[in-house]
Amino acid sequence: MNDLSNAVPMQRINVPAANQSLHTPAPVKLAARGLDFYYDKFHALKSINLEIPEKRVTALIGPSGCGKSTLLRIFNRIYALYPKLEARGEVLLDGENILSPKYPMNRLRSKVGMVFQKPVPFPMT
């Protein structure tokens, strides 16, 4: 039986990863700033701010339906293939906003690849 009469709240502490260098922060490769995403009128992602360092492993972890796959699809603008999907804000790849209509799609897709759980050879199939 649990006795909570002497329980104290846990405190959050920051602990660096075991193999992470404390002296050499990696430059930011990909950053989201004020990123919002809409499935038609449904506001799926709200004010996302995220920095992903260069040459480091980064994991997106969360429950089903929390927006992990949506965020990944924004990183190479797959959503642009489908109507009524819209991203607002900035996603910077090497300092350039990939959400800008002026950013070449072919260039983006050559830099940001995707591997899906269920392969689909052609878009919208």
Whether the predicted pLDDT of 4 surpasses 60: no
Q: Are 6 and 60 in contact (CB under 8 A)?
A: no
Residue 79: pLDDT above 80?
A: yes
Confidence of residue 118 (pLDDT cuts 50, 70, 90): confident
Which of 55, 106, 96 has the alpha carbon at shortest distance from 76? 106
Which CATH topology does 28-111 take? Rossmann fold (3.40.50)
Categorize the per-residue pLDDT at 70 as very low, low, confident or very high, splitting at 50, 70 and 90: very high
The whole-angstrom separation of Cα 109 and Cα 33 is 20
pLDDT (tens digit per residue) in 33-55: 999 999 999 999 999 999 999 99
pLDDT at 30 over 70: yes
Name 37's Cβ contacts closer than 8 Å, sequence gap at least 6.
43, 44, 45, 67, 70, 71, 74, 79, 85, 86, 87, 88
CB atoms within 10 A of CB 26: 13
Query: Is 0.85 surpassed by the pTM of this model?
Result: no
Contact 34, 89 (CB under 8 A): yes
